[in-house]
A = this chain, B = another copy of it.
């Protein structure tokens, strides 16, 4: 029989006792420091209250102040044994058969806050953010659009997980408006380059891994130990200005076309919660070099969906359905590759997967692909979109379906605001 909480959790909820994703919140209105929590049904369980009550009583967490911090970084640095201990403690504490919290009215009142009453904030300090390019379908479509159909995928792509360094300062929590960027676009004929608000604002459907302990400079992480350095996963929208990107990216890659905003979902779903949804990664041909060859090569079966709620409309329309398992390069290969040159990862670093496009036309992860660079507008409930317009809201969801329960990510959302003067 499935594990069950004394808290009433709707069967459609993303956050049953099997999930327990981690986040950080403030009570509204509040100037106090954020507090750490796990989600359970419609509640945030305040981990500082649980810690202060002495209920983290396993050998690694007893007496630790990791849950009294305003970010998860200290807990992330502690590694998988501490993460497993916390999960075990919290699953027991929240189970229907355990009286400690269930029957303590005072502690329940202090520690269980309706998520509708709190404001979620970034759960970790992100020292560095890296974005990969690990969906073959996305690589092929982008290459066809930008370079041409002859050799859309560059020859290095099948040998290593290509990536670029992203901008950490502009990562924001779900719900934050995204201000349309200004920038230069490619000149036509002999005119000077276009300058003004981006005319090709896009979303990118991604997920991102949150790094745990990491490594010291000069010491690579073995691909078969890489999973111990991934705490969990979030949804991520890597907003992109396609006109800016297309003009600036040769020869050093994306810069201002991406750095104006990146949205992540507030709850980090742990690898431990995702484990029941692990599936085989695709066979890689050519086989990867030894430092990327995994004994067990895993993806996760996470159904992803993007909706757009167009400006002025009440309803949103589904524009794509994809799945994390569409990735060619696994999360662990990405992480091991990142460190093979000795580059150090730190707790809280974020590794984006790149746009997760599937093989079908309705599984493409961005408007660039869905509208083929604006040539085939999408119809959204009677209104057409080539790219995003001011006031449009983009909403990602992600969910794993278990037998009788979900392990979900909630939503990752952001609305496009006009440029500021």
Known contacts A165-B259, A182-B220; is A156 also within 8 Å of B345 by CB?
A: no
Contact of B344 with A160 in the complex, beta carbons under 8 Å: no
Q: Which of A344-375 contact B (CB under 8 A)?
A: 344-346, 349
Shortest Cβ distance from residue A294 to the other chain B in the assembled complex, whole angstroms: 16
Contact of A260 with B167 in the complex, beta carbons under 8 Å: no
Verify if A9 is at the interface (C-beta below 8 Å from B): no
Bound CA span A220–B259, Å: 13
Q: Which of A174-190 contact B (CB under 8 A)?
A: 179, 181-184, 186-187
Of A143, A170, A341, chain B has the most CB atoms within 10 Å of the CB of A341
* Chain B residues whose C-beta falls within 8 Å of the C-beta of A163 in the assembled complex: 252, 255
Closest B residue to A257 by CB, please name it. B341
Bound CA span A417–B159, Å: 27
Q: Which of A219-263 contact B (CB under 8 A)?
A: 219-220, 241, 244, 247-257, 259-261
Bound CA span A340–B260, Å: 9
* Chain B residues whose C-beta falls within 8 Å of the C-beta of A261 in the assembled complex: 217, 342
* Chain B residues whose C-beta falls within 8 Å of the C-beta of A184 in the assembled complex: 156, 159-160, 289
Closest 3 A-B residue pairs measured CB to CB?
Answer: A253-B253, A181-B341, A179-B218
Starting from the known contacts A165-B166, A249-B253, 15 additional A-B residue pairs (CB-CB under 8 Å) come to: A156-B247, A156-B250, A159-B184, A160-B184, A160-B193, A162-B251, A162-B252, A164-B164, A164-B165, A169-B343, A181-B341, A184-B289, A198-B341, A261-B342, A342-B419
Interface, chain A (partner B; CB < 8 A): 127-128, 133, 143, 146-147, 154, 156, 159-160, 162-170, 172, 179, 181-184, 186-187, 192-193, 195, 198, 217-220, 241, 244, 247-257, 259-261, 286, 289-291, 337-338, 340-346, 349, 417, 419-420
